[in-house]
Amino acid sequence: MILESKFIAAAVISVGLMLGGCSEPVQDSLVGSADFLDQNDDGVEDIIYEFEGDFYYELVDRNFDGEVDESHKYGLDDRIVSSKVDSNLDGYLETSISYEYGSVSKVNVDRVRDGLVDISFIYAEGEVVSAEKYYHQTEVEAARIGKIAFEFGYPISNEVIGTTEISSLEFSNKSQ
C-alpha cells in the first residue's frame, strides 16, 4: 500500500512533466475553430484543439489508439486551468489536475472508477506537500485513510493509515 501511494505520486509527477511537451501556444488564427496535429504521420488526429467561449481545450491521444488520454483546459491567455489524464491508458480519465497561476495546486485520482476521489494530492508552489488515500470498507476492515507528508516534492514519511467514519462520498467532496 505504501509502495502504491508512492508510485501514484511518481506517476503524477511524470504526468506533470509530460504536460510541458504537449502545451504549445495556439495561433490566433485558430480561435473560433478546431484544429489538430498528427504526431506520428498516420493521418489520424493525435492532438486536437477545440475552442469554447473564453477557453480552449487540448485533447491528446498519447498512445495513438484513437482515444483521448489527456484533456487540458486553457484560458485564451494560454494559461492552463485544469487537466484530466488517463495515467494508465485504460480509457478512463481518472486523474484530475487543478492549477493556480499555471502551477499544479491539486491532483485527485479516482482509482476505482466510481466517479469519486480516492487519492488526493495537495500542492504548494507547484510541489506536492501531502497526499491522502481513501481505503474502502471491506467485510473484514473498516474504511481507512492513509496519509503521506512530502518535502521538496518527495515523501518524507511512510504512509500512516487510520480508520475513519467518513464515507467515500464525504472524502471525495472534501478533496475537491
Tell me the three cell numbers of residue 27. Answer: 495561433
Per-residue model confidence (pLDDT) at position 117? 98
Cβ-Cβ contacts under 8 Å for 97 (sequence gap 6 or more): 12, 15, 16, 82, 83, 84, 85, 104, 106, 107
Across the range 12-19, mean pLDDT stands at 44
For the chain, domain boundaries: 2-27+77-175
Determine contact, residues 78/55, Cβ cutoff 8 Å: no
- pLDDT over threshold 90, residue 22: no
Cβ-Cβ contacts under 8 Å for 135 (sequence gap 6 or more): 1, 141, 143, 144, 145, 146, 161
pLDDT band at 34 (very low <50, low <70, confident <90, very high): low
Most confident of 4-18, 27-41, 151-165: 151-165
- pLDDT over threshold 60, residue 32: no
Tell me how far apart the alpha carbons of residues 77 and 59 are, in angstroms, rounded to a whole number.
18
Tell me how far apart the alpha carbons of residues 47 and 59 are, in angstroms, rounded to a whole number.
6
Cβ-Cβ contacts under 8 Å for 100 (sequence gap 6 or more): none
- pLDDT over threshold 60, residue 20: no
Q: Is 139 exposed, middle or buried (0-12, 13-18, 19+ CB in 10 A)?
A: exposed
Q: 41-80, pLDDT tens digit by residue?
A: 777 788 999 999 999 999 999 999 989 999 999 999 999 9
Per-residue model confidence (pLDDT) at position 112? 93
Across the range 91-96, mean pLDDT stands at 96
Across the range 99-108, mean pLDDT stands at 95
